[in-house]
């Protein structure tokens, strides 16, 4: 099997941020609650998608996100994630060929401080839905 | 989100995969512990001149995250389903972050209720 292609440093990774202040704190900003992993499900990293393959609208469609209910999409540059000591791995899945994971490497996503720093790196890439 | 009974009820009713990424539903005992912790923080912060709202979020592993800030620091408390509690304090001007995790069983709901009474006194 071919190895997954390397993801370039200048690529942007996207993640769905569910609507409401549960996940989007006032500002709005993105909370660290979005980046905790479930070891009981064997999760190995934070699911993201590569913006050059899967755009924000397609991402929301795949995940059932609804802008009318406040869903938004946040993005982060790959080089910034790697600079934190995390790694980015391409993991295409059936319904999203751009799927990738941010995984622990020199630092661990189990670490609360790491998740806080990652949350601060992500920025919204779309405008909020104003009814 | 503001601290209302509706919020806590909604937290308790979240189902698996509420975030579209396979998040766990919060455990009732964890929500109850987080509720007591939030009440404690509210009582303590009420004495502050300009208390910022307490932000409450479910976490992906079935816990609850409490967040607030003051003029110098951002604070987070993770109430985890295994009973452990994680604290994070981030200095706004330097970016320095300190954390501490308290093991399961060393934090009791009744203990927090007692602390609330003391803080409100």
**Please, are residues A57 and A65 in contact by the beta-carbon 8 Å criterion?**
no
How large is the ipTM? 0.80
Residues A33, B59: C-beta atoms closer than 8 Å = yes
**Please, are residues B90 and B74 in contact by the beta-carbon 8 Å criterion?**
yes
Is B78 an interface residue toward A (CB < 8 Å)?
Answer: yes
Judging contacts by C-beta atoms under 8 Å, the chain B residues touching residue A37 are 60-61
Tokens of B49: 């001149």
Residues B19, A34: C-beta atoms closer than 8 Å = yes
Residues A23, B53: C-beta atoms closer than 8 Å = no
Q: How confident is the model at residue A1 (pLDDT cuts 50, 70, 90)?
A: very low
Residue with the larger pLDDT of the pair B26 and B120: B26
Question: CB-CB: which of A18, A26, A31 is closest to B20?
Answer: A18
pTM for this prediction: 0.84
Residue with the larger pLDDT of the pair B3 and A35: A35
Nearest chain B residue (CA) to A43: B22
Q: How confident is the model at residue A5 (pLDDT cuts 50, 70, 90)?
A: low
Judging contacts by C-beta atoms under 8 Å, the chain B residues touching residue A32 are 65, 76, 88
pLDDT in tens, B80-108: 998 888 889 999 999 999 998 888 766 66
Residues B20, A63: C-beta atoms closer than 8 Å = yes
pLDDT for A113 beyond 80:
yes
Is B88 an interface residue toward A (CB < 8 Å)?
Answer: yes
pLDDT in tens, A51-64: 999 999 999 999 88
pLDDT for A94 beyond 80:
yes
Report how far residue B54's alpha carbon sits from residue B50's, in angstroms, rounded to the nearest whole number. 12
Residues B61, A37: C-beta atoms closer than 8 Å = yes
Judging contacts by C-beta atoms under 8 Å, the chain A residues touching residue B57 are 21-23, 25, 31, 33
- Kindly report the nearest CA distance between residue A5 and chain B, in angstroms: 23
**Please, are residues B90 and B81 in contact by the beta-carbon 8 Å criterion?**
no
Based on C-alpha coordinates, what's the Rg of chain B?
Answer: 14
Question: Which residues, at least 6 apart from B106, have a Cβ–Cβ distance to it below 8 Å?
Answer: none
Nearest chain A residue (CA) to B56: A22
Tell me the C-alpha to C-alpha distance, in Å, between residue B93 and each of A4, A61, A90, B88: 40, 39, 35, 15
Residues B67, A22: C-beta atoms closer than 8 Å = no
């Amino acid at each position: 099997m071919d190895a997954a292609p390397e993801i370039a440093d200048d690529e942007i990774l996207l993640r769905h941020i569910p609507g409401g202040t549960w996940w989007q704190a006032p500002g709005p900003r993105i909370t660290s609650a979005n980046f905790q992993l479930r070891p009981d499900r064997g999760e190995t990293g934070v699911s993201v998608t590569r913006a050059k393959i899967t755009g924000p609208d397609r991402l929301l469609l795949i995940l059932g996100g609804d802008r009318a209910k406040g869903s938004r999409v946040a993005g982060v540059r790959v080089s910034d994630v790697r600079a934190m000591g995390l790694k980015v791995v391409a993991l295409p899945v059936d319904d999203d060929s751009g799927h990738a994971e941010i995984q622990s490497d020199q630092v661990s996503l189990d670490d609360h401080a790491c998740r806080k720093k990652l949350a601060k790196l992500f920025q919204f890439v779309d405008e909020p839905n104003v009814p | 989100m503001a601290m209302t009974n509706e919020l806590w009820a909604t937290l308790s009713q979240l189902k698996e995969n509420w975030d579209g990424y396979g998040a766990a539903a919060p455990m009732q005992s964890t929500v109850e512990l987080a509720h007591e912790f939030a009440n404690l923080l509210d009582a303590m912060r009420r004495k502050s001149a300009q208390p910022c709202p307490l932000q409450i979020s479910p976490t992906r592993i079935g816990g609850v995250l409490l967040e607030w800030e003051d003029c110098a620091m951002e604070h987070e408390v993770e109430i985890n389903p295994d009973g452990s509690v994680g604290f994070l304090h981030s200095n706004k001007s330097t970016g320095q972050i300190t954390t501490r995790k308290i093991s399961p069983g060393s934090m009791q709901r009744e203990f927090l209720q007692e602390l609330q009474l003391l803080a409100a006194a």
